[in-house]
């Protein structure tokens, strides 16, 4: 039985899926966080799965040099066999801690390259991995000049945020100025880490988007499968649903993902790599050096039996995960998300009561009355989801979308 040190986590699906995977792999974990209330707030009515850790400890996880010293002392007392996280903001930290302790893990510099979109773009361009034309800028005048040279429409991105936050299509200089101003007003991320001011501009890629789910062991990358995705909310890029396996020709996407992982130097770990299937061929969007979010790993598990959070935990423990697919009796699995029509105080989500008795629904959830919805501008906006499986073919996506379309949101009246 391995003892893993889990440094921070997302508070969404992976905050329950990863602890479950660690335990089902026969291991245990200690959870280390700078702010325990961040997790308690996300599950106020029941104990958070992260609190099932053998030890729940607090330390300043944003100060990496001090953290390395602190974890070294913890290691002498508690003896860790690996270090792990699901949260993008701490993946480079985890890699550095693992290297510091002499434990299994990917190259820390490779993880940092993957987690910073500017470093990813630069490295992959140098390696010849196909992607969009792009430019980087640190101030408004440089950004406007770069945009004029690239030509609108473009996609403006922060280089160090997640869940599609502040990623938007810009059609002209006015919209670009709005995007730049919004980013300038957002100097720290959700974990109180200072943000990098660099803005990434990319040509707008047109075509369906897929994600390639992979596991890399000792520099060899294994493709587990490809997920397709639907996107809503222009000018934003909100992921409104996913289906596994993708109902698209994806061999080219797989090759691009494997090439990107190799070019970044990611020699060990699970990755979720996003690729656009354009008329000119597949183009790399980004590489995420951790299991996919949005319950995509559950779609993969229901179809193939391969448990990617478990593989993530096993790699951290120095083990070789079993990636052989099994016949689960499911041919496709899909998730569709309920997006808020607008911001406001939710009083009810109508139609959800029928989901509990709908035969092909294997999982569902909606926000409770009193939830304050924001505008649907990122993957943090969801008001609920429905997961459907299809035992006969690739019909799961259409069914999930049909069920979510049957839900409606009521808002509370706000006194004037």
Q: What CATH number does residue 62 fall under?
A: 3.40.50.20
pLDDT score of 355 more than 70: yes
Q: Which of 224, 183, 226, 175 is closest to 204 using CA atoms?
A: 175
| pLDDT score recorded for residue 414 | 66
| 405 lies in some domain | yes
Q: Which of 315, 314, 333, 339 is closest to 266 using CA atoms?
A: 315
Three-class SS state of 358: coil
Indicate whether 248 and 319 sit together in one domain: yes
| pLDDT score recorded for residue 62 | 98
Indicate whether 322 and 340 sit together in one domain: no
Indicate whether 260 and 351 sit together in one domain: no
| pLDDT score recorded for residue 48 | 81
Residue 261 corresponds to which tokens in the numbers above? 């992982």
Q: What is the CATH number of the domain that holds 276?
A: 3.30.470.20
Question: 281 and 290 in contact (C-beta within 8 Å)?
Answer: no
Report the side by side order of strands in the sheet with 281-288. Answer: 281-288, 269-278, 209-217, 220-232, 238-244, 332-338, 384-390, 361-366
Indicate whether 68 and 55 sit together in one domain: yes
| 162 lies in some domain | yes
Q: What is the CATH number of the domain that holds 177?
A: 3.30.1490.20
Structure confidence by residue, pLDDT tens digits, 37-85: 888 877 655 678 888 899 999 999 999 999 999 999 999 999 999 999 9
Which residue has 């008329």 as its token pair?
A: 279
Q: Which of 13, 23, 292, 264 is closest to 121 using CA atoms?
A: 264
What CA–CA distance (Å, rounded) separates 164 from 171? Answer: 18
Q: Which of 143, 29, 84, 109 is closest to 315 using CA atoms?
A: 84
Q: Which of 295, 326, 357 is the last residue of a domain?
A: 326
Residue 56 corresponds to which tokens in the numbers above? 């729940």
Contact partners, residue 188, CB within 8 Å, separation at least 6? 194, 195
**Mean pLDDT of all residues in 33-38:** 92
What CA–CA distance (Å, rounded) separates 292 from 298? Answer: 9
Indicate whether 67 and 147 sit together in one domain: no
Indicate whether 322 and 344 sit together in one domain: no
Q: What is the DSSP letter of 142?
A: H
| 109 lies in some domain | no
Which residue has 């993008």 as its token pair?
A: 88
Indicate whether 138 and 221 sit together in one domain: no
Q: What is the CATH number of the domain that holds 387?
A: 3.90.1170.50
| pLDDT score recorded for residue 415 | 56
Whether the link from the prior residue into 153 is cis, omega within 30° of 0, is: yes
Indicate whether 284 and 303 sit together in one domain: yes
CA 78, chain centre distance (Å): 30
Structure confidence by residue, pLDDT tens digits, 254-297: 999 999 999 999 999 999 999 999 999 999 999 999 999 999 99
Tally of structural domains, the chain: 4
pLDDT score of 198 more than 60: yes
What does the DSSP assignment read for 23-80?
HHTT-EEEEEES-HHHHHTTSTTS--GGGGSSEEEE--TT-HHHHHHHHHHHHHHH--
Structure confidence by residue, pLDDT tens digits, 6-23: 999 998 889 999 999 999
CA torsion, ordered 35, 79, 111, 227, to nearest 10 deg? -80
Half-sphere exposure of 209 (CA within 13 A, CB side): 20
Contact partners, residue 81, CB within 8 Å, separation at least 6? 2, 3, 4, 27, 103, 317, 318
Q: Which of 207, 210, 144 is closest to 179 using CA atoms?
A: 144
Q: Which of 241, 233, 243, 235 is closest to 340 using CA atoms?
A: 233
Domain of residue 304, residue span:
207-326
Structure confidence by residue, pLDDT tens digits, 372-384: 999 999 999 999 9
What CA–CA distance (Å, rounded) separates 72 from 404? Answer: 48
Sign of the torsion formed by the C-alpha atoms of 50, 51, 55 and 58? positive
| pLDDT score recorded for residue 46 | 67
Indicate whether 342 and 389 sit together in one domain: yes
């Amino acid at each position: 039985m391995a003892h893993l040190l889990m440094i921070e986590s997302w508070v969404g699906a992976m905050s329950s899926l990863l602890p479950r995977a660690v335990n089902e792999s026969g291991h245990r974990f200690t959870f280390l966080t700078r702010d325990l209330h961040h997790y308690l707030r996300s599950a106020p009515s029941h104990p958070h799965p992260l609190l099932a850790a053998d030890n729940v400890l607090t330390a300043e996880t944003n100060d990496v040099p001090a953290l390395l010293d602190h974890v070294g002392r913890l290691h002498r007392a508690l003896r860790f066999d690996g270090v792990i996280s699901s949260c993008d903001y701490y993946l480079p930290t985890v890699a550095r801690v693992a290297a510091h302790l002499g434990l299994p893990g990917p190259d820390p510099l490779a993880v940092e390259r993957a987690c910073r979109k500017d470093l990813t773009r630069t490295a992959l361009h140098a390696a010849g991995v196909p992607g969009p034309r792009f430019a980087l800028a640190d101030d408004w005048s440089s950004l406007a000049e770069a945009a004029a040279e690239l030509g609108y429409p473009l996609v403006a991105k922060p280089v160090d945020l997640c869940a599609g936050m502040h990623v938007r299509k810009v059609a002209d200089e006015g919209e670009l100025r709005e995007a730049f101003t919004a980013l300038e007003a957002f100097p720290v991320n959700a974990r109180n880490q200072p943000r990098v001011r660099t803005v990434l501009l990319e040509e707008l890629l047109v075509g369906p988007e897929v994600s390639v789910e992979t596991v890399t062991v000792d520099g060899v990358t294994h493709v587990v499968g490809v997920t397709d995705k639907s996107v809503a909310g222009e000018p934003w890029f909100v992921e409104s649903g996913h289906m596994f396996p993708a109902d698209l020709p994806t061999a080219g996407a797989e090759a691009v993902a494997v090439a990107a992982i190799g070019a970044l130097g990611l020699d060990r770990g699970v990755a979720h790599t996003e690729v656009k299937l354009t008329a000119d061929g597949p183009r790399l969007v980004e590489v995420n050096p951790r299991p996919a979010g949005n319950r995509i790993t559950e779609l993969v598990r229901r179809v193939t039996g391969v448990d990617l959070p478990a593989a993530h935990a096993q790699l951290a423990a120095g083990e070789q995960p079993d990636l052989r697919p099994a016949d689960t009796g499911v041919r496709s699995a899909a998730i569709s998300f309920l997006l808020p029509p607008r911001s406001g105080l939710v009083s009810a989500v109508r139609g959800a009561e029928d989901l509990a008795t709908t035969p092909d629904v294997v999982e569902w959830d909606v926000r409770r009355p009193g939830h304050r919805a924001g505008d649907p501008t990122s993957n943090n906006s969801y008001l609920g989801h429905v997961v459907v499986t299809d035992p006969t073919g690739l019909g799961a996506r259409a069914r999930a979308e049909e069920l979510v379309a049957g839900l409606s949101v009521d808002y509370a009246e706000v006194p004037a």
